[in-house]
Amino acid sequence: MTRRFALLGDPVRHSVSPAMHRAAFEVLGLDAEYVARRTAPDEVGPVMRSADLAGGNVTLPHKLRAARALARPSAAVRATGACNCWWRRPDGELAGDNTDVGGLRIAFSRFGFRPRGARVLLLGAGGAARAAVHALIEDGVSSVEILNRTEARARALRDRALAHASGADVPADTNRAADAVRVVAAPHAGTTYDLVLNSTSLGLAPGDPLPLELKGETDRVGFDAAFDMVYAAGETAWVRQARALGFPAAGGLDMLVGQAALSLERWFPGREAPFDAMREAAVAELARRAGSEPEDGSGAE
């Protein structure tokens, strides 16, 4: 019997998730379907519980609401309060995970960034930032400095990280890393950051301002690398600026593919997601929408 999966969000028309998962199902020979479904806030729980769906993904603006619909949330969901992947267990209960956390780890690995001992400047304090902070403190960063337009929201993110890390089941090194999460009004002059990480949505729309004007900061602050969680056909303007200034930079495509691959492995235990095929499908779909054909699958953040 065909297993059906759906992406829930609003909007969903822009998503490349259907292209990625359909490519994966074909490679693995799975009898499964994946569709994007525009979903209103009050529909999220009922749709997740509907008998015709075996599971799916959740995107903006419903990740927090989806987490509340779960009977069996993962540790990452409990820590972040957000769910982007759910599935129906054999007993009928809904389980869920935040595979954005693991997706970011995959992207960091492919980029060559190792969080342990690193000093990170994080731009933004929304849902993507929750996943980023959780991954970074679990992986042993030296510090995370949160720079956000609304300071209260940044402090709420920091407080959540501290509250989770103080739990009895959390390793001591994770607790120490959480203590190093700080809110800043600007990058500290004279500091060299191992990574500046954009978790805002700036860069999704043409004409968006840059999340941080790197050119104006490099006279007083050092950056060893930049990572943009936004993905686009080609590179975002922020990634282009970082590379023009001479330091390594990457966009969010590998994170996107990574979270999708991990989602598939939650739905089909024992199966290894075909990362390369999923990435190629995402690149092709992004290029199609941009009105150009991809030269190859590399560097298309």
pLDDT digits (tens, 9 = 90+) for 91-148: 999 999 999 999 999 999 999 999 999 999 999 999 899 999 999 999 999 999 999 9
Q: Which residues have a Cβ under 8 Å from the Cβ of 150 and sit 6 or more positions away?
A: 125
Same domain, 36 and 171: no
At position 277, the amino acid (one-letter code) is A
**Nearest by Cα to 144 from 110, 167, 99, 174:** 174
| Residue 80 predicted with pLDDT over 60 | yes
Residues of the domain holding 95:
3-99+254-290
Q: What is the DSSP letter of 162?
A: H
Report pLDDT for 207: 84
Alpha-carbon Rg for the chain, nearest whole angstrom, is: 19
In three-state secondary structure terms, 62 is coil
Name the band, by pLDDT with cuts 50, 70 and 90, for residue 38: very high
Does the residue 200 lie in any domain? yes
Does the residue 152 lie in any domain? yes
CA distance 290 to 195: 29
Same domain, 148 and 233: yes
Average pLDDT of the chain to the nearest whole number? 91
Report pLDDT for 101: 97
In three-state secondary structure terms, 173 is helix
CATH of the domain at 24: 3.40.50.10860
Same domain, 198 and 111: yes
* Domain end call among 251, 266, 282: 251
Strand partners, 197: 122, 227
Q: Is 215 a catalytic residue?
A: no
Average pLDDT, integer, range 70-77: 97
Same domain, 62 and 140: no
Burial (CB count <10 Å: 0-12, 13-18, 19+), residue 112? exposed
pTM of the model: 0.91
Domain count, the chain: 2
**Nearest by Cα to 131 from 187, 60, 192:** 60
User: Which of 19-28, 214-223, 228-237 tops mean pLDDT?
Assistant: 19-28
Instruction: For residue 66, give Cα distances in angstroms to 7, 78, 128, 166, 232.
Output: 12, 12, 15, 25, 26
At position 1, the amino acid (one-letter code) is M
Query: Residue 96: which H helix or E strand, with range?
Result: strand 94-97
Average pLDDT, integer, range 215-244: 92
In three-state secondary structure terms, 122 is strand
Same domain, 129 and 226: yes
Does the residue 198 lie in any domain? yes
Does the residue 297 lie in any domain? no
The residue from 63, 134, 158, 279 that is catalytic is: 63
Same domain, 176 and 112: yes
Same domain, 245 and 191: yes
Does the residue 299 lie in any domain? no
CATH of the domain at 197: 3.40.50.720
Instruction: Answer whether 54's CB lies under 8 Å from 88's CB.
Output: yes
Order of strands, edge to edge, in the sheet holding 143-147? 181-184, 143-147, 119-123, 195-198, 226-228, 249-250
Same domain, 110 and 221: yes
Q: Which residues have a Cβ under 8 Å from the Cβ of 263 and sit 6 or more positions away?
A: 57, 84, 85, 97, 99
For residue 31, what are its two tokens? 């009898």
Same domain, 201 and 62: no
Same domain, 131 and 21: no
In three-state secondary structure terms, 97 is strand
For the beta carbon of residue 301, count every other beta carbon within 10 angstroms: 24
Same domain, 111 and 82: no
Same domain, 127 and 240: yes
Report pLDDT for 158: 93
| Residue 177 predicted with pLDDT over 70 | no
Please report where in the chains the tokens 């407080």 appear, as a residue: 159
Does the residue 21 lie in any domain? yes
